[in-house]
Chain A
Amino acid sequence: MAAAPPSSAKIMPATNGKGLPATLSREEELAAYRMMLTIRRFEEKAGQMYGMGLIGGFCHLYIGQEAVVVGMQMVLKPGDQVITGYRDHGHMIACGMDPRGVMAELAGRSHGYSKGKGGSMHMFSVEKGFYGGHGIVGAQVPIGTGLAFANRYRGNDNICVTYFGDGAANQGQVYESFNMAELWKLPVVYVIENNRYAMGTAITRSSAETNLSRRGLSFNIPGEQVDGMDVRAVKAAGEKAAAWCRAGNGPYILEMLTYRYRGHSMSDPAKYRTREEVDEVRTHHDPIDTARRRILENRLAGEDELKKIDSEVRELINEASEFATHDPEPDAAELYTDVYRD
């Protein structure tokens, strides 16, 4: 049954209006802009390197969704944890992981975060509070709930931000997790990145309830829809959710309405949506363009300053690419290490 592509005019539905966008300070606006741009340029470079055969296997790009992770990261504090699925490069960079180590891992090189043994979907940095990078759809949701459990067990006020997509939102283990999280009042923010397509299946074709913020209702978990293309809106919602969790009220669901410009993975011809639909979002809702326009309109920075950021970001990403390209592959002896810990 072929579903007609959704009308492009309605592609980004209005959020339910809860929580006005946060006001960002000049520093915050510029930092968010720089981080979103870093992720965008990183992903564009990863796409190029994939085309050159330097990156293999699966490679899921985050282009278009940058405001989600950057806005959420702004509300976290040391000791908080982040976990996500396999579209994870943006999360790592937002957590402060070195783009060189991430790119080297994508290329399967020895100085990648996992010594080249994990690849695109499996990177971790306990130091930066990033717990992966998980390749099985939905599997990170109980694990993230367990990270939150550890916070509760230790009696600190840290939270775990557990990201998953609209596709994973239909997984059974998500609801098992919701139940335990609310039952035990675990400090976990479930961030559903609704980019409208679970691989090639539009949400309307896979989900009986497409308002995913309501998915916690039967567990009494509050939820709301957020304009995931606006970093200010994300931050505002994230602040509210984080405060709720830190205060011991249990979990919170944020459905981020977002969009990915690229295919599901590198091999996706994206025949399930129209070029016009993608263009509509890119033209009118791009999170980076929106931030840039706002910065200029509010005179937080001038064209020159933004250009300077742009060129710094490009340099950082070129450096990461160079590093990954010239980093050696892991030593053959690494094949047998890290299976067990002594």
Chain B
Amino acid sequence: MPIQVLMPALSPTMEKGNLAKWLKKEGDAVKSGDVIAEIETDKATMEVEAADDGTLGKILVPEGSVDVAVNTPIAVILNEGEDSSALKAPKPQVQRPTPPPAPAAKSGAKDSAVARPQAPFAAPAPMQPLLDPDIPEGTEMVTMTMREALRDAMAEEMRRDKDVFVMGEEVAEYQGAYKVTQGLLQEFGPQRVIDTPITEHGFAGLGIGAAFAGLKPIVEFMTFNFAMQAMDQLINSAAKTLYMSGGQMGCQIVFRGPNGAAARVAAQHSQDYSAWYSHIPGLKVIAPSNAADAKGLLKAAIRDPNPVIFLENEILYGRSSPVPKIDDFVLPIGKAKIARPGNDVTIIAWSMGMTYALKAAEELAGMGIDAEIIDLRTLRPMDTATIVASVQKTGRAVTVEEGWQQCGVGAEIAARIMEHAFDYLDAPVARVSGKDVPMPYAANLEKLALPSVAEVVEAAKAVCYR
């Protein structure tokens, strides 16, 4: 049987990539370990090796193809004795790049018997988050990935202020472990784009010292999982010094990097630190869900005179969304955004949680439940007013987070709703969260451990008594 060569995944979160180059042509003999092709993603370029001996029978995906899905057969290797007739076997399909299918609006027939009458439903709201009130009407929008938006934010601030520099593991020569700092070394040079040793505790403290001296460091953690080694410096030195010095000495610094679960990297590399940092007075904590917010808020964070924890998300890095084409696009820290207006239930989310919330809202619309979605964007200071105003309107609330429930951000939101909008509540606040276990590795268990669209839908229905 001919052997199919599949499009490999270069990273835990890679979903598609480009086939940059074939190094072998049809009919060439290949040995196990031979490099047969080069593929690239927005993060890296990698070589594809043959895993078997034989002849390259057919190239299924031509050189230059873009957005080839992982696991798409890209070539067929014939074993010794096989010839091209063996290729007549079921023809491997090349997956064309297609937009992800929109979640089918469920009819809701099964559930509709319970509470409200079905018709007439409001048309499902668009998936695209609403235009930010901070963006002037008529602004030209440019679609870019969150990764590019973050890079542009740093580059713009570094052009604007020579005291801003970026340091971290692999930020310079490697161009960023997740390619967020791509091109910065080339533009700003090694004095301002600094590769560090793998010593989070040390370089976090060093960055804080530089900030005490008046510089404005951006410290990248390859992921926030590793920032636990630096936790003492972040909390005891960065967050508390302004207070301990009676306001004399501040610490203008941004700690940024991916937070939360990526995919299949297990317990030590999949943790949501939203609640951890949100707990600390003296820190500001930001967790954007789309490219525009990422850009506007990172610029704000770099200019903020306080230490800011900027929680990104590896899965969101590659997602594209419109970013306003404004010379100096800065968003206010501490302001939530109504990402989708609605009347029946308030769903509060941020970062990756917004992905579940927005999809759930579409499904809920199909069931006649009109959800209002708040993208918190900043976790500390938390925009309580926006949450309370929404709950006063809807009377119901659901929180969505990847983190654990105990002392989680959802717990805090629930408490604030109780304190400020108790009389408006028609149901107890529901929390959708990561399950109370370390992250498992197995694909099925990992999926169960994370929040899901279905869980958000169920929670929203429950608080609506549907």
Option from B213, B246, B305 in Cβ contact (under 8 Å) with A113 = B246
Per-residue CB proximity of A105-133 to B under 8 Å, as 1/0?
00000001111111000111110000111
A28 at the interface (CB under 8 A from B): no
A135 and chain B: residue at smallest CB distance: B236
Residues of chain B within 8 A (CB-CB) of A340 are: 242, 282, 284, 306
Residues of chain B within 8 A (CB-CB) of A338 are: 242-243, 245-247
Give 23 pairs: A residue, B residue, CB < 8 Å, sorted on A.
Answer: A112-B246, A115-B247, A117-B243, A124-B245, A124-B248, A132-B245, A136-B236, A142-B201, A143-B233, A143-B237, A146-B210, A146-B213, A149-B209, A150-B215, A151-B213, A173-B202, A176-B201, A177-B206, A180-B197, A183-B197, A337-B247, A338-B242, A339-B242
Least CB distance, B134 to chain A, in whole angstroms = 19
Per-residue CB proximity of A135-150 to B under 8 Å, as 1/0?
1100101111111111
Residues of chain A within 8 A (CB-CB) of B211 are: 146
Given contacts A117-B243, A139-B232, A139-B236, contact A145 B205 (CB under 8 A): yes
B245 and A142 contacting across the interface, CB-CB below 8 Å: no
A131 and B249 contacting across the interface, CB-CB below 8 Å: yes
B247 and chain A: residue at smallest CB distance: A338
Option from A125, A150, A153 in Cβ contact (under 8 Å) with B248 = A125
A170 at the interface (CB under 8 A from B): no
Residues of chain B within 8 A (CB-CB) of A180 are: 196-197, 199, 202-203, 206
B213 and A114 contacting across the interface, CB-CB below 8 Å: no
A172 at the interface (CB under 8 A from B): yes
Option from B197, B243, B244, B248 in Cβ contact (under 8 Å) with A179 = B197
B214 at the interface (CB under 8 A from A): yes
B207 at the interface (CB under 8 A from A): yes
In this complex, which of B206, B233, B247, B249 has the most chain A Cβ atoms within 10 angstroms of its Cβ? B206
Categorize the interface residue count of chain B. 35 or more
A142 and B246 contacting across the interface, CB-CB below 8 Å: no
Residues of chain B within 8 A (CB-CB) of A225 are: none
B165 at the interface (CB under 8 A from A): yes
Per-residue CB proximity of B175-206 to A under 8 Å, as 1/0?
00000000000000001000011010111111
Bound form: Cα–Cα A180–B219 in Å: 15
A178 and chain B: residue at smallest CB distance: B202
B208 and A143 contacting across the interface, CB-CB below 8 Å: yes
B203 and A114 contacting across the interface, CB-CB below 8 Å: no
B281 at the interface (CB under 8 A from A): yes
B250 at the interface (CB under 8 A from A): yes
Given contacts A144-B209, A147-B212, A176-B197, contact A114 B202 (CB under 8 A): no
B201 and A173 contacting across the interface, CB-CB below 8 Å: yes
Per-residue CB proximity of B130-167 to A under 8 Å, as 1/0?
00000000000000000000000000000000000100
A81 at the interface (CB under 8 A from B): yes
B320 at the interface (CB under 8 A from A): no
A341 at the interface (CB under 8 A from B): yes
B245 and A179 contacting across the interface, CB-CB below 8 Å: no
Per-residue CB proximity of B321-362 to A under 8 Å, as 1/0?
000000000000000000000000000000000000000000
B250 and A172 contacting across the interface, CB-CB below 8 Å: no
A341 and B201 contacting across the interface, CB-CB below 8 Å: no
Least CB distance, A342 to chain B, in whole angstroms = 8
Least CB distance, A88 to chain B, in whole angstroms = 12
Residues of chain A within 8 A (CB-CB) of B282 are: 339-340
B241 at the interface (CB under 8 A from A): yes
A126 and B248 contacting across the interface, CB-CB below 8 Å: yes
A142 and B247 contacting across the interface, CB-CB below 8 Å: no
A172 and chain B: residue at smallest CB distance: B201
In this complex, which of A118, A139, A151, A341 has the most chain B Cβ atoms within 10 angstroms of its Cβ? A341
A100 at the interface (CB under 8 A from B): no
A142 and B165 contacting across the interface, CB-CB below 8 Å: no
B210 and A149 contacting across the interface, CB-CB below 8 Å: yes
Residues of chain B within 8 A (CB-CB) of A135 are: 236
Option from A133, A136, A150 in Cβ contact (under 8 Å) with B210 = A150
B194 and chain A: residue at smallest CB distance: A184
Least CB distance, A137 to chain B, in whole angstroms = 10
Residues of chain B within 8 A (CB-CB) of A342 are: 305
Least CB distance, B320 to chain A, in whole angstroms = 34
Given contacts A142-B205, A177-B205, A177-B206, contact A117 B244 (CB under 8 A): yes
Q: A115-B246, A117-B246, A172-B201 are in contact. List 11 more A-B contacts (CB 8 A).
A: A124-B241, A124-B249, A125-B248, A133-B244, A142-B204, A142-B205, A143-B237, A147-B213, A149-B210, A179-B199, A339-B282
A232 at the interface (CB under 8 A from B): no
